[in-house]
Protein backbone atom coordinates (compact mmCIF):
# COMPACT_ATOMS: atom_id res chain seq x y z
CA UNK A 1 0.00 0.00 0.00
CA UNK A 2 1.07 3.57 -0.54
CA UNK A 3 0.67 6.45 1.91
CA UNK A 4 2.25 9.81 2.71
CA UNK A 5 4.17 10.89 5.76
CA UNK A 6 2.09 13.52 7.61
CA UNK A 7 5.31 15.27 8.66
CA UNK A 8 7.38 15.61 5.47
CA UNK A 9 4.91 14.45 2.79
CA UNK A 10 7.20 11.71 1.49
CA UNK A 11 5.67 8.71 -0.23
CA UNK A 12 5.86 5.61 1.96
CA UNK A 13 5.22 2.04 0.83
CA UNK A 14 3.70 -0.04 3.62
CA UNK A 15 2.66 -3.66 3.83
CA UNK A 16 -1.05 -4.13 4.54
CA UNK A 17 -0.04 -6.13 7.61
CA UNK A 18 0.96 -2.87 9.36
CA UNK A 19 -2.48 -1.25 9.05
CA UNK A 20 -3.37 0.36 12.37
CA UNK A 21 0.19 0.30 13.71
CA UNK A 22 2.84 2.98 14.03
CA UNK A 23 5.49 3.09 11.33
CA UNK A 24 8.48 5.37 10.72
CA UNK A 25 8.78 7.46 7.58
CA UNK A 26 11.66 6.16 5.46
CA UNK A 27 12.68 9.75 4.63
CA UNK A 28 12.44 11.75 7.88
CA UNK A 29 11.94 8.84 10.36
CA UNK A 30 8.83 10.55 11.79
CA UNK A 31 6.62 7.95 13.52
CA UNK A 32 2.97 7.96 12.47
CA UNK A 33 0.02 5.61 12.63
CA UNK A 34 -0.68 3.92 9.34
CA UNK A 35 -4.46 3.79 9.07
CA UNK A 36 -5.49 4.94 5.64
CA UNK A 37 -3.55 4.13 2.46
CA UNK A 38 -3.67 6.44 -0.53
CA UNK A 39 -3.59 3.42 -2.84
CA UNK A 40 -2.68 -0.19 -3.23
CA UNK A 41 0.44 -0.55 -5.33
CA UNK A 42 -1.68 -1.86 -8.22
CA UNK A 43 -4.51 0.69 -7.94
CA UNK A 44 -3.71 4.12 -9.32
CA UNK A 45 -4.08 7.06 -9.16
CA UNK A 46 -3.73 7.67 -5.43
CA UNK A 47 -5.48 10.69 -3.98
CA UNK A 48 -3.00 13.48 -3.30
CA UNK A 49 -0.19 11.99 -5.37
CA UNK A 50 0.87 12.90 -8.89
CA UNK A 51 0.88 10.28 -11.61
CA UNK A 52 4.67 10.63 -11.75
CA UNK A 53 4.93 9.72 -8.05
CA UNK A 54 2.60 6.73 -8.38
CA UNK A 55 4.36 5.40 -11.47
CA UNK A 56 7.75 5.71 -9.79
CA UNK A 57 6.45 3.42 -7.06
CA UNK A 58 4.38 0.98 -9.08
CA UNK A 59 6.35 0.97 -12.34
CA UNK A 60 3.12 0.67 -14.35
CA UNK A 61 3.52 3.29 -17.09
CA UNK A 62 4.53 2.57 -20.67
CA UNK A 63 8.01 3.73 -21.69
CA UNK A 64 6.74 6.91 -23.39
CA UNK A 65 5.41 8.13 -20.01
CA UNK A 66 8.69 7.68 -18.13
CA UNK A 67 9.68 11.33 -17.91
CA UNK A 68 11.06 13.36 -15.00
CA UNK A 69 7.75 15.24 -15.06
CA UNK A 70 4.81 13.68 -16.83
CA UNK A 71 2.87 15.96 -19.16
CA UNK A 72 -0.37 15.46 -17.18
CA UNK A 73 1.35 16.60 -13.96
CA UNK A 74 2.73 19.71 -15.69
CA UNK A 75 -0.63 20.47 -17.33
CA UNK A 76 -2.51 20.08 -14.05
CA UNK A 77 0.03 22.06 -11.98
CA UNK A 78 -0.15 24.94 -14.44
CA UNK A 79 -3.94 24.80 -14.89
CA UNK A 80 -3.66 24.58 -18.67
CA UNK A 81 -6.74 24.26 -20.83
CA UNK A 82 -7.43 21.44 -23.30
CA UNK A 83 -5.63 22.98 -26.29
CA UNK A 84 -2.52 24.04 -24.36
CA UNK A 85 -2.41 20.69 -22.59
CA UNK A 86 -2.45 18.80 -25.87
CA UNK A 87 0.43 20.88 -27.23
CA UNK A 88 2.49 19.96 -24.14
CA UNK A 89 1.45 16.29 -24.35
CA UNK A 90 2.26 15.78 -28.03
CA UNK A 91 5.53 17.75 -27.99
CA UNK A 92 6.68 15.86 -24.88
CA UNK A 93 6.10 12.38 -26.30
CA UNK A 94 6.66 12.64 -30.03
CA UNK A 95 10.01 10.79 -30.04
CA UNK A 96 8.66 7.84 -28.06
CA UNK A 97 5.24 7.52 -29.68
CA UNK A 98 4.18 8.49 -33.17
CA UNK A 99 7.03 10.75 -34.29
CA UNK A 100 6.21 13.49 -36.78
CA UNK A 101 2.49 12.64 -36.57
CA UNK A 102 2.51 13.78 -32.90
CA UNK A 103 4.32 17.00 -33.83
CA UNK A 104 1.65 17.63 -36.48
CA UNK A 105 -1.04 17.10 -33.82
CA UNK A 106 0.75 19.60 -31.56
CA UNK A 107 0.91 22.07 -34.44
CA UNK A 108 -2.82 21.65 -35.08
CA UNK A 109 -3.62 22.50 -31.45
CA UNK A 110 -1.17 25.41 -31.53
CA UNK A 111 -2.89 26.77 -34.64
CA UNK A 112 -6.23 26.50 -32.83
CA UNK A 113 -4.77 28.49 -29.91
CA UNK A 114 -3.53 31.17 -32.30
CA UNK A 115 -6.96 31.43 -33.92
CA UNK A 116 -8.70 31.66 -30.54
CA UNK A 117 -6.18 34.26 -29.33
CA UNK A 118 -6.74 36.39 -32.45
CA UNK A 119 -10.49 36.18 -31.80
CA UNK A 120 -9.94 37.43 -28.25
CA UNK A 121 -10.84 34.20 -26.42
CA UNK A 122 -7.74 34.47 -24.21
CA UNK A 123 -8.14 38.10 -23.25
CA UNK A 124 -5.66 40.75 -24.33
CA UNK A 125 -2.94 39.07 -26.39
CA UNK A 126 0.36 40.72 -27.25
CA UNK A 127 0.32 41.89 -30.85
CA UNK A 128 3.09 40.83 -33.20
CA UNK A 129 4.89 43.58 -35.15
CA UNK A 130 4.16 42.11 -38.59
Using alpha carbons only, give the angle 54, 58, 59 rounded to the nearest 5 degrees: 105
pTM, 2 dp: 0.49
Instruction: Over range 92-97, report the average pLDDT.
Output: 88
What is the pLDDT, as a whole number, of residue 64?
A: 52
pLDDT score for 85? 92
Q: Is there a contact between 2 and 49 (Cβ–Cβ < 8 Å)?
A: yes
Give pLDDT, residue 105.
95
Residue from 110, 112, 91 nearest 102 by CA: 91
User: How high is the pLDDT of residue 36?
Assistant: 58
Q: What is the pLDDT of residue 41?
A: 45
More confident residue, 46 or 3: 3
The answer to whether 55 and 65 have CB atoms below 8 angstroms apart is yes
Average of pLDDT values for 97-120?
93
For residue 95, give the 3-state DSSP assignment: coil
Q: Is 18 left (phi over 0), alpha (psi -120 to 50) or beta?
A: alpha
Amino acid sequence: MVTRCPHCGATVIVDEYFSGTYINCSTCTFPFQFTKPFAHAQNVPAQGMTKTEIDAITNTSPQHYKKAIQPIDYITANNLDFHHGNVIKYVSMWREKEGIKDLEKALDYLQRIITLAKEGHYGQAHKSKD
